[in-house]
Amino acid sequence: MVEKQFLIDDFKLNESWRLFRIMGEFVEGVEALHELGPAVSIFGSARIGEKDPVYKKARLLAKLLVENGFSVITGGGGGVMEAANRGAAEAGGRSAGLNIKLPFEQKPNPYANLKIEFKYFFIRKVMFIKYASAYIVMPGGFGTLDELFEVITLIQTRRIRPFPIILVGSKHWSGLSDWIKARLQGKGLISEGDMDLFQIMDDPEQIVSAIKKVVIL
């Protein structure tokens, strides 16, 4: 019984210290990003190479955003994240890479000029949203979808202010949009106006223009 109680007390102590680690990550993120200025968070697959058209488009988008007065925020890894940090660096702008510690896949790219590493996904997602003036979502996997629906839900429930959410690539995203309209809106599971929470676009210059119409620099 004594040994069992010791294990319980040790678990409680570890849980208490975990709270301090969580607070520390929040503090580090806020201190690093609060002077970043108007920024756009860019999401997408970590698994594409630099010859992929999606990589090239993300790189161009980031370059155009910097040229129009924005900083860029990414997840700090490869693929689309690398492309966006790279495009921002090539334009002489600021970009943040919010890397997550994972046992596989995620390695920091060399192009972000502000790097922060997180242990907890939920803290990292708070930083993506808190310092974003707009969301750009390129084709990606489960992580990209998670980030997309998180921010849509927060805006839908009025937990955060509305800002542009742009899904890049009509061929990639139109099927999902059609499914949401038919299966969710069509059955009354979301409101009709909820379809307006995001846009699907293809042209990088039009995307930047759409953001500038909403975001005051």
The residue with tokens 């069992």 is 4
pTM, entire model? 0.90
CA distance 94 to 91: 9
- At residue 12, the pLDDT reads 54
- At residue 17, the pLDDT reads 82
- At residue 9, the pLDDT reads 45
Rg value, the chain, Cα: 19
Of residues 107, 125, 111, the one with CA closest to residue 43:
125
Structure token pair of residue 99: 């890397």
CA distance 133 to 214: 9
CA distance 71 to 188: 38
In tens, the pLDDT along 24-48 reads: 999 999 999 998 989 999 999 999 9
- At residue 4, the pLDDT reads 47
- At residue 216, the pLDDT reads 77
List the end-to-end C-alpha distance of the chain, in Å, as a whole number: 63
Amino acid present at 3? E
Query: Which architecture, in CATH terms, is 33-214?
Result: 3-Layer(aba) Sandwich (3.40)
- Is-contact 18 113, C-beta < 8 A? no
The pLDDT averaged over each successive group of 10 residues in the chain (217 residues) is 46 73 92 93 96 98 98 97 98 96 78 94 94 97 96 96 97 97 97 96 98 89
Handedness of CA 33, 46, 62, 147 (dihedral sign): negative
- At residue 52, the pLDDT reads 98
- At residue 18, the pLDDT reads 85
